[in-house]
Amino acid sequence: SETRFQNVLEYRFSKDGRWLVYSASSKDSSADGMFAVETASGTATPLLTGGGDYQQAAFDDAGRQVAFLSNRDADAAEQPAYRLYYRALEKGETRMLAQESSPGIPAGWWISEHQALYFSRDGKRLFFGTAPRPGAPDTSAAEIPEDEKVV
């Protein structure tokens, strides 16, 4: 049989093929979220939903844990900050593990959405990237005079 999921941006299968995790995004944000699907049943379970970007899903080697990034709670900001989320797939709820202000992340740094997440081989550690937070765009620069613009 065939199961189709709408608005999918990114997806990953666990190594054993038991789980599929995917991120979805719709024009009006109503379908935005990260979802887990136990492939035997085909039923999608929301891990985290709401307007925002969801990416970098990663499984541990055993396929029992998943982690991902989202800027759900800061989506409207000019520079939305990502948070690191975690879920044990068979039980529990999705938990936020780290954010810009978490211990161990230096002041002026944030969680990078450009670095892949990965678990240690034994699944006891989760690695993620951080980076200096970019400065706000300089909007005080003078306009380029008309005679100097490239057309």
Q: Which domains does the chain have, with CATH numbers?
A: 8-134 (2.120.10.30)
- Is the alpha carbon torsion for 88, 89, 91, 92 positive or negative? positive
Within the chain, residue ranges assigned H as helices are none
Give the pLDDT confidence of 13-37 residue by residue, as tens digits.
Answer: 999 999 999 999 988 888 899 999 9
User: How far is residue 116's CA from residue 107's CA, in Å, rounded to a whole number?
Assistant: 22
Residue 37, pLDDT score: 96
pLDDT of residue 135: 78
